[in-house]
Structure 1
Amino acid sequence: MSIASTLNNALSGLTAAARSTEVVSNNIANAMTEGYGRREIMLSSVAVAGQGAGVRIDGIQRIVDQTAIAGRRLAAGAEAHASVDAGFHAGLERVTGLPGDPGALGTLFAEFSATLAEAQSRPDDASRLAAVAGSADRLIGQFNLISTEIQTARMTADREIANQVREVNDTLARIADLNGQIRLLQGAGRDPSGLLDERQRLIDRVSEIIPIREVPREGGQVALYTPNGSALLDGRPAELGFTATGYIDPAMTIGSGALSGLTLNGRAVATAGDSAPLAGGSLAAQFSVRDEWAVTADAQIDALARDLIERFADPSVDPTLAPGAPGLFTDAGAALDPAEEPGLAGRLALNALVDPDQAGTHWRLRDGLGAAAPGPVGEAGLLIAMSDALAADRTPVTGDWATPGDAAGLAAAFLSDVSARQQSAEADQTHAAFLVEGYLRDERALGVDTDQEMQKLLLIEQAYAANARVMQTADDMIARLLEI
């Protein structure tokens, strides 16, 4: 082997060592970087006429576990869906209040019942009658608050849908652009690993909003499909369509056309149901909040409000009521209109006849809302009838109720349903989170191990020193020959 060949061999070794050092250094520096795939340098020997001629850099390989990544993405979509579900029902449980909590719906029913009992023992005591009116008003306020929170949740979901649709459209366009850049770099023989990292990060983000499957295409490109087969990206990115609604009232539903649905490339698509094209993920969950879970909760609390109105509007409870006149509890001051039930909990109000702030008087709680003048101050018949009405077992005319109950019992059943749904969603979220963590462990098994990378650096250092020594020796030989 000639001295020139020796120098070429050593120089190629130094070049490979330098490039290997760069790759290992990048691995260590990005060990905690999201979406980073470990790099390995691909080397091969070069032989010329049977003689060693050094080492050749064949390229940089990005090492990732695509099976683990695919599983993690589906699990992340399920976790995001369950998180939205649990968050909505936790908020509803919080505003409804747990048993015994001050201001909770059940607590306020118990308080109202207690003030009625106290007034029965002293119907002549104006302060006790005032306490009945005050507790009824606080109960009404809690119904109003629950209804308001439900509508707020629906409007928040509507805005979040618009934000996520915009994010998915923008991200799909960026992924399509990266596909083109990766194809060009691979075609030119250059390393596209940095772009592959960024593309993986973007796909991961989309997978939380809409669960997706990645399908490889030639030239390093990928196509993206939902688990149910809808194409989000295959050459050209798909476009989601949605129009946000500024204000949502209880009567507005997607079925009535008052709210926008979702479109995919201009065609309407479903987001609910196992076979829906875009089922799963946080986007579908936000639609469920707006169009299913909140609507169901709203119908249940409205049914409770209607049941409360009907209990006290019964002429057998208050014989002084004129036909069609509202009882103690009203629909914004008027009698109940069954055709206008949506949003009733938000309109629930105390009858002005017993509200001093509206020129009413508390004695009507004792003598009847339709009484022309105060009656005997010791008469507690109406107060007793009101207590009996509150404690009577009834099945609300509307809503979904498993069994009849008194007013407080129905409120407890409402809370129980909300809590059960929250616990179920939290269990789903926990299960999905465990799956995500399991897939992440599988990914990390092929990820950057800083201890191994440091060991590689030691080997690279030795190789660099050996090649440098060969070059030094060749240089000494050339210098010796020139002296001769």
Structure 2
Amino acid sequence: MSTFGALNTAYRGLTAAQQGMNVAGQNIANAATEGYTRQRVQQSPLAAPAQGLWGAGAPQVGQGVSVDAIARLGSSFLDGGVRSAGAQAGYASVRSSALQNIEGVLNEPGDNGVSAALQGFWSAWQGVANQPGEAAPSGLVIQAANTLTTRIATAYQALDGQWSDARGQATDAVSAVNSAASQVAAYNTTIRSTLAAGGSANELIDARAKLTESIARLAGGTVREQADGTVDVHIGGNALVMGSSVRTLALTGAATMAGSAATPVQLEWADRPGVAVGLDGGQLAGSLSVLAPAAGGSGGVIAEAAASYDRLATQLATDVNAVHSGGLTAAGAPAGNFFTIDATRPAALGISSIQDPALLGAAAAGFGAKDGHNADALAQIGTRTTSPDATWQSIVTGIGLQSRNAQQHETMTAAVATSAETSRASSASVSLDEENVSLLTNQHAYQAAARVMTAVDEALDVLINRTGLVGR
């Protein structure tokens, strides 16, 4: 190697060490930046120059070091694990939240629940049986009936409101997916052109990775990396993002719970109306599952809970009317139905009771106007094995079990998601200790290369300026 070649070697060492210190400083500066993946300078030795005719067989040293790239120390395998775990956690969290809200609507056990209202209703009838013909006990029956029907209707309305809220959240999630997909396509274009020009796109890749994780948490799907630096995002086996092109999603179907039976809510491709998008996870999949119409116990949890109130109202009216219509009023007239249900509305909203105490059928035929046998029979409805109370208890127990299972599933998927993020962070996050070591290593390398350059410079100065001066 010539003396001037040694200068070039030292210069290459200086630039490589400086680049290493710059990258270490970048890592340290972004140690607390969410989504940042640590970077490293990739170096390789430069080979010795090709030997010419006169140098054949003579040993040659290399020409220093080459900075090949600034590598992003991420793992596509670990990134995929984070996305998959996030999709399952998103699905579980939506269902768990919905069922916990339903439990809040039930108010069971508690003084403001339907169970307490049922007990108050039967007790009021027992009061009439104990004091037949008295105005106060009869008024308490009307009041207890109003309390019971009001709680059933109020709970149904609360579930209807919860369904509308879930529908709105699903709409927002679709908008978020479409927005994120558009940004991923834009990043693809920028990253592809940057890499083609020989630049570093590590920070852009980090930003795009955060967007793909957001899409996965919202709608599941998979990400496929391409050779040109772009990624394709697929949902339900179909491309949401492919290079710089984007397809959009649309949420269609009924805007109310009442209309969902005829036109269920579903996710579709905007360019293919009527074709549902198959989801394998994510918050949208959870939202669609809770927004599904009632299907005899296997439908959406909100609509099924609302349908349970309808069943309770229908059974309550049927059981009470069957006994009440066989009694006599205080005037000795045949008593009619105690409850009526408006056929044009859901049973839970359309149920109402008589408001005139004089129409109560407390007496049984043949026992006189002051009799309370029929009122006692009405009070005993609550003790039957197939009573509305038993039906309601079964409904509450079923919802409670679903909620518990959903919460356990949420806890498990959240733990898996945390584990996946921890595994990725162990290889991709910045370690300040490691970066300090890298900084010191490159600093010493820089000082050493500078010392070599100084030594070569001094040697050249002697050779150029002082050779031939001896003996003058």
State whether structure 2 residue 281 is matched by structure 1 residue 280.
yes
Matching residue's letter, 2:22: E
Shift of 1:131: 2.8
**Are 2:199 and 1:204 aligned?**
no
The 3 A distance-change label for structure 1 pair 47 and 87 is same
For residues 48-80 of structure 1, the C-alpha deviation after alignment (integer angstroms, 9 at most, x for no partner) is 533443322111111112222212212211111
- Structure 1: distance between partners of 2:108 and 2:160: 21
TM-score of the aligned structures, taking structure 1 as reference length: 0.83
Q: Pick closer, same or farther for the CA change 1:382–1:477 going to 2, 3 Å.
A: same
Q: Note the alpha carbon deviations across 1:113-135, whole angstroms, 9 max, x for none.
A: 23332343233553333333222
Aligned partners of 2:13 and 2:65 also within 8 Å: yes
Specify the alignment match of 2:450 in structure 1: 468
Task: Indicate the residue corresponding to 1:356 in structure 2.
Answer: none
| 2:43 partner SS | strand
C-alpha contact (below 8 Å) 1:209/1:282 kept by paired residues: yes
Identify if the C-alpha distance between structure 1 residues 387 and 185 changes in structure 2 by more than 3 Å, giving closer, same or farther.
same
Output the CA distance in 2 between the equivalents of 1:456 and 1:326: 90
Residues 1:290 and 2:295 aligned together: no
Are the structure 2 counterparts of residues 162 and 237 from structure 1 closer, same or farther at C-alpha, using a change threshold of 3 Å? same
Contact 1:119 1:129 (8 Å CA) reproduced: yes
* Residue aligning to 1:398: none
Q: 2: CA distance between counterparts of 1:148 and 1:351?
A: 22
Q: What is the match of residue 266 of structure 1?
A: 272
Query: Does 1:345 find its partner at 2:345?
Result: no
* Residue type at the aligned position of 2:16: A
Q: CA-to-partner distance for each residue in 1:413-450, whole Å, 9 max, x for gaps?
A: 11111111111111221221222122222212212222
CA distance in 2, matches of 1:249, 1:60: 54
Question: In 2, are the aligned partners of 1:157 and 1:287 still within 8 Å (CA)?
Answer: no
Q: How many residue pairs end up in the alignment? A: 440
Asked if structure 2 preserves the Cα contact closer than 8 Å seen for 1:162 and 1:243, the reply is no
Query: For the aligned residues, what is the CA RMSD?
Result: 2.8
Contact 1:298/1:343 (<8 A) preserved = no
Q: CA deviation at 1:367?
A: 4.8
Tell me which residue corresponds to 2:55.
none
Matched, 1:18 2:42: no
Shift of 1:89: 1.1
- What's the counterpart of residue 320 of structure 2? 312
Identical columns (%): 24
Residue in structure 2 matching 1:408, options 369, 389, 401: 389
Determine the structure 2 residue equivalent to 1:436.
417
Counterparts in 2 of 1:236-385, with a 5 A limit?
A: 236-243=245-252, 248-250=256-258, 252-253=259-260, 256-257=262-263, 261-264=266-269, 265-270=271-276, 277-291=278-292, 292-314=300-322, 317-320=325-328, 327-331=337-341, 334=342, 337=343, 340=344, 343-353=346-356, 362-365=357-360, 367=362, 376=369, 378-385=370-377
Q: Which amino acid aligns with 2:184?
A: I
Please name the residue that 1:77 is paired with: 87
Distance in 2 of aligned mates of 1:324 and 1:169: 65
CA distance in 2, matches of 1:454, 1:268: 58
Q: Which residue of structure 2 aligns with residue 91 of structure 1?
A: 101
5+ residue gaps in structure 2? 50-59, 293-299, 467-472
Equivalent in the alignment of 2:440? 458
Distance 2:24 2:391 in 1: 65
Cα displacement (A) at 1:478: 5.5
* CA–CA separation in structure 2 for the residues paired with 1:479 and 1:326: 121
145, 169, 172: which is aligned to 2:181? 172
The amino acid across from 1:262 in the alignment is: L
Would the aligned equivalents of 1:92 and 1:146 in 2 still touch at CA under 8 Å? no
Paired residue for 2:431?
449
Shift of 1:3: 4.7
Q: Is the 8 A contact 1:16 1:56 kept in 2?
A: yes
Q: Is the 8 A contact 2:324 2:338 kept in 1?
A: no
Paired residue type of 2:132 = P
Secondary structure, counterpart of 1:22 in structure 2: helix
Q: Which amino acid aligns with 1:5?
A: G
Structure 1 residues 69, 446: closer, same or farther in 2, change over 3 A? same
Cross-structure match for 1:35: 35
- Once the two structures are superposed, residues 9-55 of structure 1 have per-residue CA deviations (whole angstroms, 9 ceiling, x without a partner) of 23222222222122122222323433322211111222453344332
Quote the Cα distance in structure 1 between the aligned partners of 2:104 and 2:229. 49
Instruction: Identify the residue that residue 386 of structure 1 maps to in structure 2.
Output: 378
Partner of 2:172: 163
The answer (yes or no) to whether the contact 2:335–2:360 under 8 Å persists in 1 is no
Describe the shift of the 1:412–1:477 C-alpha distance in structure 2 as closer, same or farther (beyond 3 A): same
Partner residue in 2 for 1:359: none
* Kept in 1: contact 2:41–2:71 (CA 8 A): yes
SS in 1 for 2:35: coil
Q: Where does residue 6 of structure 1 map in the other structure?
A: 6
Write the mapping of 1:79-228 to structure 2, written as runs, cut at 5 A: 79-99=89-109, 101-226=110-235, 228=236
Write the distance in 2 (CA, Å) between the matches of 1:324 and 1:150: 38
Q: Distance in 1 between the 2:268 and 2:22 partners?
A: 47
Displacement of 1:220: 0.9
d(CA) in 1 for partners of 2:305, 2:144:
24
Counterpart AA for 2:67: I
Contact 2:163 2:257 in 1 (8 A): no
Deviates more, 1:13-22 or 1:202-211: 13-22
Partners of 1:151 and 1:104 in 2: how far apart? 18
Matched position secondary structure for 1:314 = helix
CA contact (8 A) 1:269 1:278 kept: no
Report the secondary structure of 2:377's partner residue: helix
**3-state DSSP of counterpart to 2:286:** helix
